Structure 1
Amino acid sequence: MLLGCIADDFTGATDLANNLVRSGMRVVQTIGKPDDGSRIDADAVVVALKSRTIEPAAAVEQSLAALSWLRRSGAAQVYFKVCSTFDSTDRGNIGPVAEALLEALGGDFAPVCPAFPENQRTVFKGHLFVGDLLLSDSSMRNHPLTPMTDPNLVRVMQRQCRGKVGLVDQAVVAAGSAAIRNRMTQLRNCGHRFGIVDAISNVDLMSMGQAFSGMPLIVAGSGVAIGLPQNHGFQASAAAARLPAAGGLRAIVSGSCSAASNAQVADFLRRGGQAYAIDPLRIAAGEDTVSAALAWAAPRLVAGPILVYATSESEAVKAVQARLGVEQAGALVEQALSSIALGLVERGVRQLVVAGGETSGACVQALEVAQLRIGPQIDPGVPWCHADSPAADAEGLHLALKSGNFGTFDFFTKAFDRLA
């Protein structure tokens, strides 16, 4: 294993795996830490955790357990994958996990870069941009769990860390990999444990990949991954993304309330797609939403993809949270959508799109998926995957786990065309 990866949510894990596969690596994604003693034949393994928004101590514990398995399996380099919008709070979990991993690896410095220019995530002078907007001016400022109101990643990371955080700015990055290495050495010698690295293009990511060769730990979004396979002689290959032939019924489950997912739901509805809306308040009132949704879906699945969604605008989400509480509202929706996803697969769905990181995590766990084989890209950061599930037959299940903010407005339609 050349690269061992730890991702703090399930969609982020497939996002990272997708970029590695695009560059020719054979990649397996596991759902949680694999069993002790298990062996996986792959160039890179991505261990997907559901640790982004849990208590920091629990996130550290789970991440260190994943690291222990990866090191026993021979991982030459470790990649802690975080969200491209650096989703976190002042208490973590990026900083605490990164510090724990660095200490366990015996390292004294790690680069940090969430940039993914293909998905309009760039870092300049340490400030994170979403498209043309600073992170703090984007829809992420209204995120229900991790509202991002400070675009300065040096400040954000420093509030979460004991060690010093510095900057490798764009002028250095533009000068190439040797300049990046020199700047990181300067920061290390000045007592910094982490350095935010600017990136505004794929050229920057490729230079970064060369500069990070041999470093024990990288903390990054998925974008940096495109620059790492070159260090081991890999080149883009369609064979690395080949999956079994797809069949069966098709469905979409969306729990994300991001701007992108709202636009994707709206587009699906405009096209005349069959859709069923989940109301958290009705779930809280004791209604059997799961049975109702599955009864609605059963006669419609044969006609084409159906959508079950709890996606709504930020003001509606806040109103529900005010009634139920943030944690209860999220838990009710996740439980309902994951039960619906399981029921859909039991009824013959074999091509399933899931939108939202928390929703994807809940659905994959309900389906008892242990590993994902990474296939072709639908949109930057979102591939089709193939998995075994007790709810499916021997041919398995095709899954697309979409981060809430990713994908074009027509994602729910073109995803199935891409697999066909």
Structure 2
Amino acid sequence: MAHTNPAAKGEQATGALPAARAARKPLCYYGDDFTGSTDVLEALFRTGLRTVLFLEPPDASMLGQERFAAMDAFGVAGVGRSLTPEEAERTLRPIFATLKSSGAAIVHYKICSTFDSSPGIGNIGTAAAIGRETFGEGYIPLVVGVPYLGRYTVFGHHFARAGEAVHRLDRHPTMSRHPITPMKESDLRVHLSEQCDDRISLLDLTEQDAELPVVRERLKRRVAEERPDLLLFDVLDEQRLERVGQLLWQEAQSREGMFVIGSSGIEYALGAAWQALRLPELQPDRAAVARAYPVDRLLVVSGSCSPVTEEQIGEAMKLGFTGIRVPVDELIDPERAKQARNRLLAEATERLERGESVILYSASGPDDPGIAEFRRALLAQGFRAEDSSKLLGGLLGELVRTVIEHSGLKRLVVAGGDTSGYVTRELGIFALECVSVLAPGAPLCRASSASPQLDGLELILKGGQVGERDFFQRAKNGG
């Protein structure tokens, strides 16, 4: 079984991009996890820009393919959220150089809207330092709030919706207990200061409450007085989000490629600004948010331990989905792996051939005892705890690819932001495009692959916090 090590192999720059194409691109981005990368696809799809998400940095020959000829923007899906600072150094530096060569007005390092990060894993400060060295001086804008997704930044403190309630990030039922990057601080400036020595300033919501020229002067004064390395923008509602987008777009016009860090709030802010400014080159036909068609069978593979996903798995099983636990501890044990794999494949394939929809899950929720069992098995086999996402994603991806090739499935859901990137890489897919929107932050995408069985596969990458209780049923029914 081949396990991808993106820090050593998968995410390498492959050459400069054609300058003629670059002039037409307002934006390109790198997503630090796969579910977040498709979240940006959705945002740009809603804006009306045709965007392609590549699983490796594209070179001129890739962009020259006829299928990508009408592309307005592009992204590169990555796994930066699960990398150590040393791995990020090796991974991000060549990718940022490739993105810079695109000539795009804005280059976006896309992070999760719940700011998943720590000094040791997913360090955003490391990404900022590499970005500054690559793109030059000038403050780096930081925008994390996305009202559309229930994410809000108020006086520097971040809040996120869980179900019907909005929680401060350090009291969020999932993020405060995240197994890899638990959030113990809601002030994003304080949280980020543990990852870097940068000067971090804030343009708060009261300073945004004025006519645009006044807000521009306030921003200019803040930059002159505090000389920040990073500048965080409060985002509470769509009105302020549009204001932030106009500030970003104006700043980008004065730079040779502006590097920004943030959630898909960047794209929603810019989309609102482009519409408000009525720029002719950025006013394509609005995207038709078409309803997807239903499928007779759906395969869901989950590496998530979120309580939101836990509810979704339970609801789907009530509605007739077959749940099959993935014995991860057995699959990483050389003496038991082959038998466990064959048993799992046989059961999943048999169920799908009967016409059933299947959920393969490594954990039912945050309190599943299988999580502790997996961690003990990791240590027993000589792995580090931080290897869990890579290892789990590789195992699930290899299993899913075999199931799809034998069953002829047309649609797949992958749940779990940390594992989805590794699952998708194992599938042999090289690009994704958004074709429909099922739920905020979880678009339906069409895959490009050299494999006939996987080319055209419909794929939904769902973060742990995304979707209503009946999400998997809706994914099967097309909305």
Map residues 60-79 of structure 1 onto 2, 5 A cutoff.
Answer: 60-79=89-108
Residues 256-292 of structure 1 show CA distances to partners (whole Å, capped at 9, x for unaligned) of 1112111111111122211111132232442433322
* 2:247 is the counterpart of 1:211: yes
Map residues 181-260 of structure 1 onto 2, 5 A cutoff.
Answer: 181-189=216-224, 190-213=226-249, 214-215=251-252, 216-229=258-271, 230-231=273-274, 232=279, 233-234=282-283, 237-239=286-288, 249-260=297-308
- Relative to the length of structure 1, the TM-score reads 0.92
Structure 2 CA distance, aligned partners of 1:356 and 1:179?
42
Mark the CA change 1:323 to 1:247 in structure 2 (over 3 Å): closer, same or farther: closer
- Residue 363 of structure 1 corresponds to 423
- Residue 4 of structure 1 corresponds to 28
SS of the aligned residue for 1:199 comes to coil
Structure 2 CA distance, aligned partners of 1:296 and 1:236?
46
Mark the CA change 1:416 to 1:272 in structure 2 (over 3 Å): closer, same or farther: closer
How far apart are residue 104 of structure 1 and its match?
Answer: 1.4
Structure 2 CA distance, aligned partners of 1:63 and 1:242?
35
Structure 1 contact 9–358 (Cα < 8 Å) conserved = yes
Structure 1 CA distance, aligned partners of 2:242 and 2:326?
43
How far apart are residue 17 of structure 1 and its match?
Answer: 1.3
SS of the aligned residue for 2:260 comes to strand
How far apart are residue 404 of structure 1 and its match?
Answer: 1.5
Map residues 336-415 of structure 1 onto 2, 5 A cutoff.
Answer: 336-347=395-406, 348-393=408-453, 396-415=456-475
1:321 to 372, 375, 396: 375
SS of the aligned residue for 1:46 comes to strand
SS of the aligned residue for 2:429 comes to coil
How far apart are residue 87 of structure 1 and its match?
Answer: 0.5
Structure 1 contact 168–180 (Cα < 8 Å) conserved = no
Structure 1 CA distance, aligned partners of 2:168 and 2:310?
21
- Relative to the length of structure 2, the TM-score reads 0.81
Structure 2 CA distance, aligned partners of 1:205 and 1:247?
37
How far apart are residue 99 of structure 1 and its match?
Answer: 2.5
Structure 2 contact 292–436 (Cα < 8 Å) conserved = no
Aligned letter for 1:333?
L
Structure 2 CA distance, aligned partners of 1:105 and 1:335?
33
How far apart are residue 379 of structure 1 and its match?
Answer: 0.8
Which deviates more from structure 2 when the two are superposed, residues 315-324 or residues 264-273? 315-324
1:163 to 198, 203, 206: 198
- Residue 124 of structure 1 corresponds to 154
- Residue 169 of structure 2 corresponds to 135
* 2:346 is the counterpart of 1:295: yes
Structure 1 contact 345–392 (Cα < 8 Å) conserved = no
- Residue 308 of structure 1 corresponds to 360
1:28 to 52, 59, 82: 52
Which deviates more from structure 2 when the two are superposed, residues 310-319 or residues 334-343? 310-319
Structure 1 contact 26–44 (Cα < 8 Å) conserved = yes
Structure 2 contact 429–454 (Cα < 8 Å) conserved = no
Mark the CA change 1:103 to 1:287 in structure 2 (over 3 Å): closer, same or farther: closer
Which deviates more from structure 2 when the two are superposed, residues 168-177 or residues 334-343? 168-177
Query: What count of residue pairs does the alignment treat as equivalent?
Result: 418
* 2:173 is the counterpart of 1:173: no
- Residue 97 of structure 1 corresponds to 127
Residues 337-370 of structure 1 show CA distances to partners (whole Å, capped at 9, x for unaligned) of 1112111221211201101123211121111111
Structure 2 unaligned segments of length 5 or more: list them: 1-24, 253-257, 380-384
Structure 1 CA distance, aligned partners of 2:332 and 2:35?
27
Structure 1 unaligned segments of length 5 or more: list them: none
Residues 46-72 of structure 1 show CA distances to partners (whole Å, capped at 9, x for unaligned) of 111111121213324422322222232
Structure 1 contact 29–371 (Cα < 8 Å) conserved = yes
Structure 1 CA distance, aligned partners of 2:220 and 2:414?
42
Structure 2 CA distance, aligned partners of 1:33 and 1:164?
31
